[in-house]
C-alpha cells in the first residue's frame, strides 16, 4: 500500500521562522507536565505571574530561556520541585520531556537542556503572599 504525503510533507518555497517565545512555551508546557514540578521560575517572577493570572493574563514561558538558531535550540529551565522528589531524577525527566517536545513539535535539534532547581515546595504549606515574595 502506497503512503500519501500529508500536508506537512509538501515542499514549497519559503522560509519558516519560529520565535523564541513559541519555543519557550513548548518547553515550559513540557516541563510543567512532569510529575514533581511544582512551578517554573524563581520567587519574584512567580509572584508577578500569579498577579498576571489573577487579572486574566499569563506567561506560559515563565522560567524558561531559549536560544534559537537556524536548526538548533538550547533551553534553560528554572523550576521549583515538589518536596520528596529525587532532584537529579526530576531534572532528568524534565530534560527528556523538553527534548522530546521541542524536537517533535518545533522540529529543531535540541543541543542542550539545562535544568536549575531553585526551590522545593512543601505540599500543604500556603504559598507566601505575592507582596512577601517581592521583598
Q: What CATH number is given to the structural domain containing 73?
A: 3.30.70.1350
Question: What pLDDT was estimated at residue 135?
Answer: 41
The secondary structure element, H or E, covering residue 28 is: helix 20-32
pLDDT in tens, 23-59: 999 999 999 999 999 999 986 444 444 444 444 445 5
Contact 72, 109 (CB under 8 A): yes
In a domain, 101, yes or no: yes
Q: Angle CA(63)–CA(65)–CA(71) in degrees, nearest 5? A: 145
Global pTM value? 0.74
Task: At 70, list the grid cell.
Answer: 537556524
Number of domains forming the structure of the chain = 1
Task: At 75, list the grid cell.
Answer: 533551553
Contacts (Cβ under 8 Å, ≥6 apart) of 97: 30, 31, 33, 34
Burial of 118 from C-beta contacts in 10 A (0-12 / 13-18 / 19+): middle
Domain that holds residue 110: 18-123
In a domain, 133, yes or no: no
pLDDT in tens, 2-31: 444 555 566 789 988 899 999 999 999 999
pLDDT in tens, 65-100: 999 999 999 999 999 999 999 999 999 999 999 999
Amino acid at each position: 500500500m502506497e503512503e500519501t504525503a500529508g500536508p506537512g510533507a509538501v515542499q514549497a518555497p519559503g522560509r519558516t521562522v519560529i520565535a523564541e517565545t513559541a519555543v519557550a512555551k513548548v518547553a515550559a508546557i513540557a516541563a510543567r507536565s512532569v510529575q514533581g514540578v511544582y512551578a517554573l521560575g524563581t520567587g519574584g517572577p512567580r509572584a508577578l505571574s500569579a498577579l498576571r493570572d489573577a487579572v486574566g493574563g499569563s506567561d506560559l514561558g515563565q522560567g524558561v530561556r531559549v536560544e534559537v538558531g537556524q536548526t538548533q535550540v538550547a533551553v534553560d529551565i528554572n523550576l521549583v520541585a515538589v518536596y520528596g522528589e529525587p532532584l537529579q531524577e526530576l531534572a532528568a525527566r524534565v530534560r527528556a520531556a523538553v527534548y522530546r517536545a521541542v524536537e517533535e513539535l518545533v522540529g529543531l535539534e535540541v543541543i542542550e537542556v539545562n535544568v536549575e532547581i531553585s526551590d522545593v515546595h512543601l505540599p500543604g504549606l500556603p504559598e507566601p503572599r505575592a507582596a512577601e515574595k517581592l521583598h
